[in-house]
């Protein structure tokens, strides 16, 4: 695909969660149709997409039919089985490309890539077994965090090691999967940059947001983040460096730890990101439209920030606050159309908006 997609074209989205839902809404505003591919029944994106395929990622016939009906393929999560991608990429362009997925699906690949670009991360070492963990702890020390190499999100697949005695339990929590030991970073803040790169190589970044996590799950993102002008520039330059190195097309989330020694990269997500939801009320063009523009080969939009925003996730029973929140001024409500609230389940989010200070 070299020409920009014209309105009426169909964008295929792998994954039908809330990110796919908000991507579909943004795509429809630009006149596109979305076809969502999701193994689970009744996906949140299904309510707003033009078409939904409910099939496993192992279903070759369903993957072929999906690809035949779309002009370009993107995704809302990074853990798509490799075999499905191998097939799909022979049929339609996948944006962002495979390298971004390979790097972000695997913590060892991710950290090696980042360090190879000269970007700082927490000290880390791969861990496969008890002897490897002992060696890693000897090199890195405590406190530290053991994380599964693959398939970790929202703090899942992680165990803290405050003292060497915690090592056996942490290793058991990995359930035999390859892992990475990370030194615990005494950060003063967590921030993230949501940035985009167009098919023509143009790069644009949203203002960095300051994130607060609880139990490993994002709770709030606040813009502006409390960063110096220099830190703000550094954050954006880090994101641009990653985008260019991956020859990336689409929106990327970069999570950073703020430390006295500078910014460390925690992880990258090759997709729209929860910490970018503030852009829906803070910018003329939000992260979802920016991603669709990039994937469709359109010029990137103006993502400069016109308002101050606090984004708050509605997790589990938080969703019961919606009737009260609906009475508050300056609050934009986004609900994901999910069923019953469960602890830890992201049901929606709100953006509290104020004119830019
Ligand atoms: P992750 O899923 O790796 O992004 O981790 C979820 C959250 O755990 C992060 O946003 C941090 O709040 C915390 N965390 C993860 N890794 C570290 C680390 N090496 N040092 C300090 N905190 C961490």
Q: What is the CB-side half-sphere exposure of residue 42 using CA atoms within 13 A? A: 4
Distance 211 CA to ligand 1 centre (A): 11
Distance 186 CA to ligand 1 centre (A): 10
Fold assignment, 189-355? D-amino Acid Aminotransferase; Chain A, domain 1 (3.30.470)
pLDDT, residue 188, reads 97
Mind giving me the DSSP string for 281-311?
Answer: HHBSS-HHHHHHHHHTTPPP----B-EEEEE
Mind giving me the DSSP string for 8-61?
Answer: T-EEEEE--SHHHHHHHHHHHHTT-EEEEE-SSSS-GGGGTSSEEE---TT-HH
Distance 184 CA to ligand 1 centre (A): 8
Distance 158 CA to ligand 1 centre (A): 9
Burial (CB < 10 A; 0-12, 13-18, 19+), residue 173, is middle
Q: Is 123-183 CATH 3.30.1490.20?
A: yes
Peptide bond preceding 186 in cis form (omega within 30 of 0): no
Cβ contact 194:221 at 8 Å: no
How far is it between the farthest Cα atoms of the chain? 60
Mean pLDDT by 10 residues, the chain (357 residues): 88 98 98 98 97 98 98 95 95 96 94 98 96 96 95 74 93 93 97 98 98 94 97 97 98 98 96 98 98 98 97 98 98 96 96 96
31, 127, 193, 231, 310 from 235: Cα distances, Å:
33, 29, 7, 6, 19
What 8-state DSSP symbol labels residue 169? H
Domain ranges of the chain: 10-94, 123-183, 189-355
pLDDT, residue 127, reads 96
pLDDT, residue 153, reads 59
Q: CA-to-CA distance for 272 and 78, rounded, in angstroms?
A: 11
Which residue owns the Cα nearest ligand 1 atom 2?
155
Mind giving me the DSSP string for 222-250?
Answer: EES-S--HHHHHHHHHHHHHHHHHTT--E
How many CB atoms lie under 10 A from the CB of residue 54? 16
pLDDT, residue 151, reads 76
Q: CA-to-CA distance for 134 and 138, rounded, in angstroms?
A: 6
Cβ contact 306:283 at 8 Å: yes
CATH node for 10-94? 3.40.50.20
CB crowding 206-231: b at 16 or more within 10 Å, else e: bbbbbbeeeeebbebbbbbbebeeeb
pLDDT, residue 215, reads 87
Ligand 1 neighbours, Cβ below 6 Å, are 122, 145, 147, 152, 155, 182, 184-185, 190, 213, 216, 255, 266-267
Q: CA-to-CA distance for 150 and 218, rounded, in angstroms?
A: 19
pLDDT, residue 20, reads 98
pTM: 0.96
Residue of 61, 27, 31, 56 lying closest to 41 (CA atoms): 56
Residue of 332, 328, 325, 329 lying closest to 350 (CA atoms): 332
pLDDT, residue 106, reads 92
Indicate the top mutation candidate among 125, 136, 266 to test ligand 1's pocket, ranked by most ligand atoms within 8 A of CB: 266
């Amino acid at each position: 695909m070299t020409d920009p997609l014209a309105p009426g074209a169909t964008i295929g989205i792998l994954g039908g969660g809330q990110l796919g839902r908000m991507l579909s809404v943004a795509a429809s505003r630009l006149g596109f149709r979305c076809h969502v591919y999701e193994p689970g029944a009744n996906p949140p994106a299904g309510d707003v997409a033009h078409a939904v395929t409910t099939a496993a990622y192992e279903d070759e016939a369903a993957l072929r039919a999906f690809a035949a009906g779309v002009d370009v393929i993107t995704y809302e999560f990074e853990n798509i089985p490799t075999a499905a991608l191998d097939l799909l990429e022979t049929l339609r362009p996948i944006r962002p490309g495979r390298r971004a997925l390979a790097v972000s699906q695997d913590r060892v690949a991710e950290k090696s890539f980042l360090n190879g670009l000269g970007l700082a991360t927490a000290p880390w070492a791969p861990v496969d077994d008890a002897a490897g963990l002992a060696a890693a702890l000897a090199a890195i020390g405590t406190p530290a965090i053991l994380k599964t190499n693959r398939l970790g999100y929202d703090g899942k697949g992680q165990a803290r090691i405050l003292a060497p005695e915690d090592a056996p339990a942490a290793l058991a929590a990995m359930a035999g999967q390859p892992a990475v030991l990370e030194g615990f970073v005494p950060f003063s803040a967590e921030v993230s940059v949501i940035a985009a790169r167009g098919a023509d190589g143009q790069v644009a970044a949203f203002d960095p947001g300051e994130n607060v996590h609880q139990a490993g799950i994002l709770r709030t993102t606040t813009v502006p983040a409390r960063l110096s002008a220099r830190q703000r520039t550094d954050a954006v330059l880090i994101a641009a460096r990653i985008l260019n190195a991956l020859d990336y097309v689409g929106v990327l989330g970069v999570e950073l730890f703020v430390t006295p020694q500078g910014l460390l990269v925690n992880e990258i997500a090759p997709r729209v990101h929860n910490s970018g939801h503030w852009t829906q009320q803070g910018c003329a063009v939000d992260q979802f439209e920016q991603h669709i523009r990039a994937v469709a080969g359109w010029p990137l939009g103006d993502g400069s920030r016109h308002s101050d925003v606090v984004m708050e996730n509605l997790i589990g029973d938080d969703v019961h606050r919606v009737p009260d929140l609906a009475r508050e001024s300056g609050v934009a409500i986004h609900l994901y159309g999910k069923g019953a609230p469960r602890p830890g389940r992201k049901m929606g989010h709100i953006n509290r908006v104020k004119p830019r200070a």
